[in-house]
């Protein structure tokens, strides 16, 4: 064990929460180090958010060329789609951003320690490198940003070939001809879009009553129609009973809403049912850090655990497992450590996006949730079929749905499905945070023709004076 190194802050985990927290801490004058057992940028930059968006772009082009060539005036005698080239491009995109994180660590004079970390006391961290040598680091504050890992159905083993998680799925260069996707959340729906774009036979199985079950019910219904139109099979309200590997691939036994059992056969199965926290083997129990029943680290609005000097951010806290939420938590955590001015987060109002085709984006309460809370709900809607930019793009499935309180005009949430709706979220989340009403959004002049006009039109509708519908 080498000589102790002293820091004001050590961040464990270099994902979008951890590395952002380290940068903000360094900016505030704190001597900072970051530890990761595998890679800078974490899952998001290396095998998650970033490379998947590159694959989705390739899949969008592939689908257009395969299925919509005549519509756009393209014709081919022998169209060849090389999926391995798409994966190579996704790796290049990922590597470029990861190098950028490395540069940011140097720029902000943040020490990087690669290895597996374990708490050895309230202010002590032991880091064991690949060479099995251990260094002991001392810090006034330790921030845990260790993320989460893919969950599986009990008794189902992810073998990385026939039964895969997002990790194997995003790295494989050869596509099977058919797949059963177990879980219709963001990851399941995004991989469904990629693989369907390249012509795979895709079946999606979701235990809850609808795909994207945490989204507004109308959005889930619209996405189901869009997926079915593209040839995907969606099986909601369906439980997976077993997954067995065979010489040819996998057999997945399921039970539908009526209890009738059915056997699905495919070359591969993707397990996309959610995540569990990376909270084991960190020494949390010995340090007295409180965990929830599901193993997530409990924190307050400052990102502090119950042990002074130990903090936690990102997926390992179980608050909202999204990269941008982890980054926001990281900044707030660093500012609280430094005693700087900061804010608190309203997790209900955090933006959410699923980059399937069509895209889904939302924040706040659904219509049903708002009514359950007793609000007098007023809804503003606008379909992309009536938006000139969407028609010009040839991408006009979906709508904007704005949920407001009829009494005060308060924005309670928004739910969108359609072209690039993830890019439309910030106007609405900013309006909600600044306590603007649909009236201000409607009066804000939007450039024409743009997709953002759909927000203005939905706001007009919420105010009771629709213009273009």
Helix orientation angle between 186-197 and 49-67, rounded to the nearest 10 degrees? 40
pLDDT for 167 equals 97
272 near 186, Cβ under 8 Å? Answer: no
Query: Three-state DSSP class for 233?
Result: strand
Q: Is the dihedral of CA 56, 57, 59, 60 positive or negative?
A: positive
Could you tell me which of 147, 153, 451 has the C-alpha nearest to residue 277? 147
C-alpha to C-alpha distance for 441 and 458, rounded to whole angstroms: 9
Length of the chain counted residue by residue:
469
pLDDT for 4 equals 67
Which residues participate in catalysis according to the annotation? Answer: 448
Q: Where in the chain is the domain with CATH 3.30.390.30?
A: 358-462
Q: Is the dihedral of CA 118, 123, 129, 135 positive or negative?
A: negative
Could you tell me which of 6, 24, 11 has the C-alpha nearest to residue 340? 24
110 near 26, Cβ under 8 Å? Answer: yes
User: Under CATH, which number does the domain 5-54+85-149+276-347 receive?
Assistant: 3.50.50.60
Domain 163-273, CATH homologous superfamily name and number: FAD/NAD(P)-binding domain (3.50.50.60)
One digit per residue, the tens of pLDDT, for the chain of length 469 reads 455 689 999 999 999 999 999 999 999 999 999 999 999 999 999 999 999 999 999 999 999 999 999 999 999 889 999 999 999 999 999 999 999 999 999 999 999 999 999 999 889 999 999 999 999 999 999 999 999 999 999 999 999 999 999 999 999 999 999 999 999 999 999 999 999 999 999 999 999 999 999 999 999 999 999 999 999 999 999 999 999 999 999 999 999 999 999 999 999 999 999 999 999 999 999 999 999 999 999 999 999 999 999 999 999 999 999 999 999 999 999 999 999 999 999 999 999 999 999 999 999 999 999 999 999 999 999 999 999 999 999 999 999 999 999 999 999 999 999 999 999 999 999 999 999 999 999 999 999 999 999 999 999 999 999 999 9
The separation between CA 427 and the C-alpha centre of its own chain, rounded to angstroms, equals 20
252 near 264, Cβ under 8 Å? Answer: yes
The separation between CA 293 and the C-alpha centre of its own chain, rounded to angstroms, equals 23
So what's the architecture of 358-462 in CATH?
2-Layer Sandwich (3.30)
Q: Where in the chain is the domain with CATH 3.50.50.60?
A: 5-54+85-149+276-347, 163-273
pLDDT for 122 equals 85
Instruction: Count CB-CB contacts under 10 A for residue 344.
Output: 11
CA atoms within 13 A of residue 309's CA, in its CB half-sphere: 14
pLDDT for 121 equals 86
Burial of 260 (0-12, 13-18, 19+ CB in 10 A): exposed
Query: Three-state DSSP class for 197?
Result: helix
358 near 225, Cβ under 8 Å? Answer: no
């Amino acid at each position: 064990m080498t000589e102790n190194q002293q820091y004001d802050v050590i961040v464990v985990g270099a994902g979008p929460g951890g590395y952002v927290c380290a940068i903000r801490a360094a900016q505030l004058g704190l001597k900072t180090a970051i530890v990761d057992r595998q890679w800078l940028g974490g899952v998001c930059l290396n095998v998650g958010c970033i490379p998947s968006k590159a694959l989705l772009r390739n899949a969008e082009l592939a689908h257009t060329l395969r299925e919509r060539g005549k519509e756009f005036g393209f014709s081919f005698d022998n169209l060849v789609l090389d999926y391995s080239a798409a994966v190579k491009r996704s790796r290049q995109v990922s590597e470029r951003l990861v190098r950028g994180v490395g540069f940011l660590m140097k720029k902000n004079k943040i020490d990087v320690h690669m290895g597996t970390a374990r708490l050895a006391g309230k202010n002590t961290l032991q880091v064991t490198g690949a060479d099995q040598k251990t260094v002991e680091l001392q810090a006034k504050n330790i921030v845990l940003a260790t993320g989460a890992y893919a969950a599986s159905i009990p008794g189902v083993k992810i073998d990385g070939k026939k039964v895969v998680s997002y990790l194997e799925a995003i790295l494989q260069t050869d596509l099977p001809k058919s797949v059963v996707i177990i879980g219709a959340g963001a990851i399941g729906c995004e991989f469904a879009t990629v693989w369907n774009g390249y012509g795979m036979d895709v079946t999606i199985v979701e235990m809850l009553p609808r795909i994207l079950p945490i989204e507004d019910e109308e959005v889930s219904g619209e996405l189901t129609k869009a997926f079915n139109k593209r040839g995907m099979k969606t099986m909601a309200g369906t439980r997976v009973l077993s997954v067995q590997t065979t010489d040819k691939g996998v057999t997945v036994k399921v039970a539908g809403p009526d209890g009738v059992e059915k056997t699905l056969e495919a070359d591969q199965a993707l397990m996309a049912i959610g995540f569990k926290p990376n909270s084991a083997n960190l020494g949390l129990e010995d340090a007295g850090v409180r965990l929830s029943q599901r193993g997530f680290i409990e924190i307050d609005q400052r990102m502090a655990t119950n042990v002074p000097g130990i903090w936690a951010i990102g997926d390992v806290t179980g608050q909202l497992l999204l990269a941008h939420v982890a980054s926001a938590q990281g900044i707030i955590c660093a500012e609280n450590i430094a005693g700087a001015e900061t804010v608190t987060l309203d997790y209900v109002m955090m933006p959410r996006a699923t980059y399937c085709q069509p895209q889904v984006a939302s924040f706040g309460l659904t219509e049903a949730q708002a009514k359950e809370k007793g609000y007098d709900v007023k809804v503003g809607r606008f379909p992309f079929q009536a938006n000139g930019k969407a028609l010009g793009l040839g991408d006009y499935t979906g709508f904007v749905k704005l949920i407001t309180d009829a009494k005060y005009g308060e924005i309670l949430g928004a739910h969108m499905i359609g072209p690039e709706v993830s890019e439309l979220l910030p106007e609405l989340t900013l309006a909600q945070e600044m306590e603007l009403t649909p009236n201000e959004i409607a009066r804000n002049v939007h450039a024409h023709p743009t997709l953002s006009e759909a927000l203005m039109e939905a706001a007009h509708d919420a105010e009771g004076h629709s213009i273009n519908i």
